[in-house]
Amino acid sequence: MFKGNKVLDVHGHVSAPAAARNWVMGGFSSGYVGPSPLRSGGGGGGGAPGQRRPATNPLGDEAFMESNQSHVNYMDERNIDVQAIGPRPFTMMGWMPRHLLVRWCEFTNDTIKKQVDNFPDRYVGASMLPQIAEAPDLSNCIPEFEKNVKEYGFSGTYLSPDPDGRHNSPGMNTSYWDPVYAKCQEWNVPVFIHGSNCLDERLAHIPGNYQIGFVVETFLATRILAYGDQFERFPNLRICIAHGGGALDRFIASSNHRIPRGKDISKNLFFDTCLYDQEYLELAIKQWGVSQMCFGTEAPGSGGAVRQDTDHPGKVNVGKTSDDLLPIIDALPSLSEEDKLTIINRNPAKLWPALAKATGQAATVRA
């Protein structure tokens, strides 16, 4: 809770048992995975032929509950009431062989469903889709999207601007993306844009180079969407871009290089607050505007570093992890109390109505 109001977090990732990654590793090594053991009801540790099932099921209900409870505890420590969870982006691996990718998406969505089912008042689900960069469009993603919405109750979907990690996908304003955009508008669910992998050989020597991929691809997606016509084709489409849109403008507001120019995208394009440097976060809110910012933490995720007294002005939340963002936002001198409530509760409810519904709160959704 934040001063008596529910804290709605648009940026979270599934916490599945360690055996979930072992499952796809069996596919990489053997070239084959069968149907999701969670979807088929079989359970088990992997899909590769000849793989023995252990005496204790590493993908059983107890294993999932343990992982999911740990995630809930982490949220509780940071006063987060409800979180939207999707795939862990660096494990989306859109570059994998296509026959494995479809199965991996199905399995990942099943792990998300398990976590939502275990704690339905704490999580809402977002899909991982089998994006194929070289396909004519994303039509192949629709069966999984619809299954997740209709049968699993998911209320959003992840899209990577560059699923292959090779900068070879069409721009996010093109008709390539239209099948998923159309379904999101039809079902009144948002798109959450998050970078995934980075296979740029120039960056291969940099540890965690996928984080650089996140910045580059979300920055490009922001600019492409701001100048694109996709919101004219889909006027009720809502998109949120992770990590504050990747990067900020260096130009002053009156510059012709500053976005957006000449059209109103305030009802369509949003950004999260998953920016751990206090000064950068404050500047992002100033540049995009309070009306476009949605509370997001990725807790637990990449924000585990502990704040030192030299990390930011004001020495707020020293000794706490950087993803403990409520005290940071509360301390920003540029925000009024109404601004803080808008970012932490109202905007997430507008972007993602299911977040508010999970708390019993009436969502304020634009017409």
Domain ranges, ordered by start, for the chain: 8-14+60-358, 18-53
127 contacts 110 by C-beta, under 8 angstroms: no
Q: Is 196 exposed, middle or buried (0-12, 13-18, 19+ CB in 10 A)?
A: buried
Q: Cα-flanking dihedrals φ and ψ of residue 31, to 5°? A: 80, 10
Cα–Cα distance list, 248 to 221, 244, 268 (Å): 13, 8, 19
Q: Quote the pTM value.
A: 0.92
3-class DSSP assignment, residue 120: coil
Please list the pLDDT of the chain residue by residue as tens digits (367 residues). Answer: 999 999 999 999 999 999 998 898 888 889 998 999 998 654 444 444 455 555 578 899 999 999 999 999 999 999 999 999 999 998 999 999 999 999 999 999 999 999 999 999 999 999 999 999 999 999 999 999 999 999 999 999 999 999 999 999 999 999 999 999 999 999 999 999 999 989 889 999 999 888 888 899 999 999 999 999 999 999 999 999 999 999 999 998 888 888 766 678 899 999 999 999 999 999 999 999 999 999 999 999 999 999 998 776 677 899 999 999 999 999 999 999 999 999 999 999 999 999 988 877 755 544 3
Q: Residue 123: beta bridge partners? A: 83
Total residue length of the chain:
367
357 contacts 311 by C-beta, under 8 angstroms: no
Query: Which amino acid is residue 291, in one-letter code?
Result: S
DSSP 24-85: HHHHHHHS---S-TTTTT---S--STTPPPPSS-TTSHHHHHHHHHHHHHHHHHTT--EEEE
Question: How far apart, in whole angstroms, are the C-alpha atoms of residue 85 and residue 287?
Answer: 26
User: What DSSP designation does 2 have?
Assistant: B
31 contacts 114 by C-beta, under 8 angstroms: no
Q: Which CATH superfamily is domain 8-14+60-358 in?
A: Metal-dependent hydrolases (3.20.20.140)
Q: Residue 272: beta bridge partners? A: 294
Q: What is the pLDDT of residue 51?
A: 52
Question: How far apart, in whole angstroms, are the C-alpha atoms of residue 316 and residue 175?
Answer: 45
102 contacts 8 by C-beta, under 8 angstroms: no
Q: Which residue has the tokens 């490009």?
A: 220
Q: Residue 192: beta bridge partners? A: 158, 240
196 contacts 213 by C-beta, under 8 angstroms: yes
Question: How far apart, in whole angstroms, are the C-alpha atoms of residue 265 and residue 257?
Answer: 17
Q: What is the pLDDT of residue 46?
A: 45
Question: How far apart, in whole angstroms, are the C-alpha atoms of residue 248 and residue 257?
Answer: 12
Q: What is the pLDDT of residue 125?
A: 98
DSSP 259-315: S--SS--TTTEEEE----SHHHHHHHHHHH-GGGEE----SSSS--SBPPTTSSGGG
Closest CA to 6 of 360, 367, 365: 360
CA 259 to chain centre: 23
